[in-house]
Structure formats: structure tokens, C-alpha cells
Amino acid sequence: MRKPSSELIFERSREDRFAYSLPETEVEKQNVQDILGEKFARKKKAELPEVSELDLMRHYTELSNKNHGVDTGFYPLGSCTMKYNPKVNEKVARMSGFANAHPLQDVSTVQGSLEIVYDLQEHLKEITGMDEVTLQPAAGAHGEWTALLMIKAYHEANGDFNRTKVIVPDSAHGTNPASAKVAGFDTVTVKSNKKGLVDIEDLKRVVGDDTAAIMLTNPNTLGLFEEDILEIREIVHHAGGKLYYDGANLNAIMSKVRPGDMGFDAVHLNLHKTFTGPHGGGGPGSGPVGVVADLAPYLPKPVVVKENDVYKFDHDLPQSIGRVKPFFGNFGIYLRAYTYIRTMGPDGLKAVSETAVLNANYMLRRLQDYFDTPYTQHCKHEFVISGSRQKKLGVRTLDIAKRLLDFNFHPPTIYFPINVEECMMIEPTETESKETLDAFCDTLIQIAKEAEENPEIVLDAPHTTVIGRLDETQAARKPVLKFEFLKEEKE
């Protein structure tokens, strides 16, 4: 594969080269200093790249090509549901009535937009089995925090001030304990058993009258269904705690089983995962929260209600935890999720989950002879394998992940969940063809062979990217995000 160009747009810049031609304006004819005054006018020309229109276009196209996305290649990042984002969603989100609406418009002029909000809430209620839904939270983690505040408000309204603890499994996503902490709780870890599921005996040990809630995702982050969920519900409810469902893995169970029917009291969904909102790149997400009737009085306000076929915001919720997001929330993502749900229908969503689960099981079986597989039972929409066999040969999971980049595959989630050594967590999603799944498995199998026969090629990977191995700590702590003009003196 050809290495992409590494020349920066600033290095391509040539003085007085233009990417546009417009008639000179009145402003340009004047002296800037006369308009702005000495204090605010630039002393020196702005340091901007000066390139032709074609070079400018190539610059942005190249940037987009450097960025791996679901539109450019397979992206089996476990627990993230990197499925195809249907382009019809984009068309709907760009309809001028939606795209040009202003958040401060009178509600009588945005009835259609509110209808979408209301209907989406209704669909999500049905999908999750919850009594009420708010769309306000901007992401999954934000939804976790929102729901935990509601659970806290519920306990406090009952005069129950000693429920300070939230139970999370050792396989939990990092946002679970983090949200609990930010919501003012302490976290207690419950262990997983040999089958990768919540250890019931350990749960009985940690649960008590200080338990505010347990946070679970089902299937869990190992891709395994918590088959004892009804017993878990009994234990936690009996102790007076609430069950929180982390909906990041909902792609495995749509139209099959609902968190509400499993006994959960609150759930968040990730519209940017399960419901095809574009994912990552810093774009907006959406983490709606559904709750059972007990918790409904504490919903963030305002809520969108329908009275005599008129949609409006209801601010009259005296026990509400308050607003968690300005205006409508991330409305553009609602439109995409709504379009997706309406184009799929209940049977379509069921087929999504069944295919996602089938794809994951197919890959697990193809890979299990070449990698250690800590859990061999049927998985749901994702599964974990371990690179510990390769580690004995000096090739770590990180090296395998880097080597995958040479084949235009995004690596799976690695070193998570933390209870599996040298973990790789693979989520193929339902939208990939068998050929793609096979190509990825073939590549992983090839890398396993390379680890035995030619480990250097794995250890030195990636070979085809602009930059090879980063110092990941430095890259996270001291990212270089802007061009430095070394030669010129700074003002």
C-alpha cells in the first residue's frame, strides 16, 4: 500500500497563492487599522496556508483518507457497535425544515420536530420496556450520570440517605464507576465467575442496605448474556437497590428481550452505537435514558408531552433533577436514529440483533484454534480472545493491533475488559459481509503465524501508515495539534 503524503498544508503554502476569487469588497479597500483601531488590528499578516483551490481540496480529501472510519474499512471495535451509518439518515437530517430550525423558535412553529422527539421516545420505550424516556443526555456516560442522579433523588425522597454505594462488575466499562463517582456515590466491585458472569455469591456479599444501585450491561462486555439476571434482580431489589442497564450492548438483543422485562429500573441507550448515529470524530452523540414509573418524577425537565395532538414542553416537574442539556439535546442524532428505527421496523431490528450475534459467533469459532479463548460458550454480539499465547513468543496484543493497521483494518478494542489478560474484544456488527469477516479472521490468523515465524514484522508494525508507533502517553498528555512556525519569530 502506498503511504499517504505527509506534507502539511503549511509546507505546501506559497505566498499570495489563492484558493478563491471574489470581487474586491468595500471593506478590503479600506485600511483595517482605520476600522478596528491600532489596538485590534494585526501588525503582521496572519499565518495561514496559501494554496490553490485544488491543493486545498486535496488537503481535506487526504485528511479524510487518513482517518479510518466505517465508510473506509472494517471497524470491529468491541463495545462500540461501529455499524454502517445509512446515508438515508443523512438525507433526513439535512431536510431544511429540521436543519434550519432555531432552538428558540416558538413551539407552535416546530411541531414536526417535537413530534419526532415524542415518537422517538415512544419507540425507545417499546424497545427497552421502560415507562418513560428522556432524550436529553448527550452520550452514554452522560445518560449514566443522569440516571444515577435520578436514583439518588428517588432514595432521598424516601428518606433513604444511607444508600451511598453503586455496585459495578469487574468487567464494567470505565464510564460506569466514573459516572457513579461524579454522581456522588462510592463504587463497589462485584467479581465475575469462571463463566465470565456476575458471581452471585460475591454479589450477595457486597449488596446491602447501603446499595443505591447495581450497574450492568447485558450481554456484558465479554459478549456474554447474564443468564442469572432474574436472580440478580431479586437480590438487588430485595436489598432496596435499583438496577441500572448500560445499553451500549443493546445491539445484541433488540426485539428479543428487553431490559424492562429483565427487571431493570433505568437504562441508557447510545443512539450513536445501536441506532446508527455517526460515531466518533468528536461529533455529537446521544444517550437517552429510560426509566420505570418509580423514577419518572425525577426525569430531567422539561419533558416533551402531547396534549390534544399538540406537542409541548412540560416544565412542571417539581421533583425533577433539572435540565442536563440545553434546548432539544442533540436533535440531529434523533433524526438519524428515528429514520433508522422507522426504516427497519420491529422485524428488521430483530434481524439486526440475530445477524450481529451470528457474525460474532462465526468469527469466534474461526479464531478459537489460533488464540486463547477464555470463554467458549456461545457469545452474543461480541466476544473476547486473548493474545497470551502470542505474548509468550514476545508479541503482545498491542503489536497485533498495530499489525492489523497494515491491512486497513481498525483493531478491535484491546486490554479491555481488564479481567482478561492481553484481551482483544471483537464486535463485527450485522452490517459486514461474510467476505469481510473472513478477510479479518484470515489476517488475524496470518498475524498469529507471523508471531511464531517472523515476529519482527509484527513488532515493527505498522509499516504502511504515515506515523508508526506513537509514544501513546505523550500523545495523550502532550498532543501536538498545531503547526509550529519554527523559522519565523513569534509576536
Q: State the residues that interact with ligand PLP by CB under 6 A.
A: 79-80, 139-141, 173, 175, 217, 221, 246, 248, 270, 285, 287
Supply the minimum distance, in Å, between the C-beta of residue 141 and ligand PLP: 3
Q: Which is nearer to ligand PLP, 169 or 451 (CB)?
A: 169
Q: Which is nearer to ligand PLP, 172 or 207 (CB)?
A: 172
Supply the minimum distance, in Å, between the C-beta of residue 487 and ligand PLP: 42
Supply the minimum distance, in Å, between the C-beta of residue 288 and ligand PLP: 11
Q: Which is nearer to ligand PLP, 248 or 458 (CB)?
A: 248
- Per DSSP, helices labelled H in 309-433 are 331-367, 388-391, 397-405
- In degrees and rounded to multiples of 5, residue 245 shows phi and psi of -105, 115
The DSSP call for residue 95 is -
Nearest partner of 425 among 368, 386, 474, judged by Cα: 386
Place of cell 413551539: 107
Q: Three cell numbers at 71? A: 465508510
**CA–CA distance, 211 with 200 (Å, rounded to integer):** 15
Q: Which is nearer to ligand PLP, 260 or 277 (CB)?
A: 277
Q: Which is nearer to ligand PLP, 9 or 151 (CB)?
A: 151
* Residues linked to residue 165 through DSSP beta bridges, in sequence order: 186, 211
Supply the minimum distance, in Å, between the C-beta of residue 437 and ligand PLP: 21
Say if residues 383 and 48 touch (Cβ distance below 8 Å).
no
Say if residues 147 and 266 touch (Cβ distance below 8 Å).
yes
Q: Three cell numbers at 250? A: 443493546
- In degrees and rounded to multiples of 5, residue 450 shows phi and psi of -60, -40
Supply the minimum distance, in Å, between the C-beta of residue 427 and ligand PLP: 9
Supply the minimum distance, in Å, between the C-beta of residue 253 and ligand PLP: 14
**CA–CA distance, 273 with 248 (Å, rounded to integer):** 7
Supply the minimum distance, in Å, between the C-beta of residue 205 and ligand PLP: 24
Q: Three cell numbers at 113? A: 420536530
**CA–CA distance, 272 with 82 (Å, rounded to integer):** 9
Q: Which is nearer to ligand PLP, 141 or 292 (CB)?
A: 141
Supply the minimum distance, in Å, between the C-beta of residue 140 and ligand PLP: 2
Q: Which is nearer to ligand PLP, 51 or 219 (CB)?
A: 219
**CA–CA distance, 72 with 63 (Å, rounded to integer):** 13
Supply the minimum distance, in Å, between the C-beta of residue 277 and ligand PLP: 10
Q: Which is nearer to ligand PLP, 333 or 441 (CB)?
A: 333
Q: Which is nearer to ligand PLP, 50 or 428 (CB)?
A: 428
Supply the minimum distance, in Å, between the C-beta of residue 268 and ligand PLP: 8
Supply the minimum distance, in Å, between the C-beta of residue 99 and ligand PLP: 23
Supply the minimum distance, in Å, between the C-beta of residue 80 and ligand PLP: 6
**CA–CA distance, 311 with 313 (Å, rounded to integer):** 7
DSSP letters spanning 288-335: -EEE-GGGGGG--S-EEEEETTEEEEE---TT----SSSTTSSHHHHH
Nearest partner of 142 among 308, 44, 284, 294, judged by Cα: 284
Supply the minimum distance, in Å, between the C-beta of residue 249 and ligand PLP: 6
Residues in contact with 276: Cβ distance below 8 Å, sequence separation at least 6, in sequence order:
83, 84, 85, 86, 89, 336, 337, 340
**CA–CA distance, 289 with 362 (Å, rounded to integer):** 32
CA angle 420, 424, 426 (to 5 degrees): 125
Q: Which is nearer to ligand PLP, 60 or 84 (CB)?
A: 84
Taking 3-state DSSP, the helix, strand and coil percentages for the chain, each rounded to the nearest 5, stand at 40, 10, 50
Q: Which is nearer to ligand PLP, 171 or 390 (CB)?
A: 171
CA 443 to chain centre: 26
Q: Which is nearer to ligand PLP, 134 or 390 (CB)?
A: 134
Please report how the helices 111-128 and 331-367 are oriented relative to each other, as an axis angle in degrees rounded to 10: 30
Nearest partner of 227 among 102, 436, 378, judged by Cα: 378
- When CB distances to ligand PLP are compared, the closest residue is 140
Q: Which is nearer to ligand PLP, 270 or 431 (CB)?
A: 270
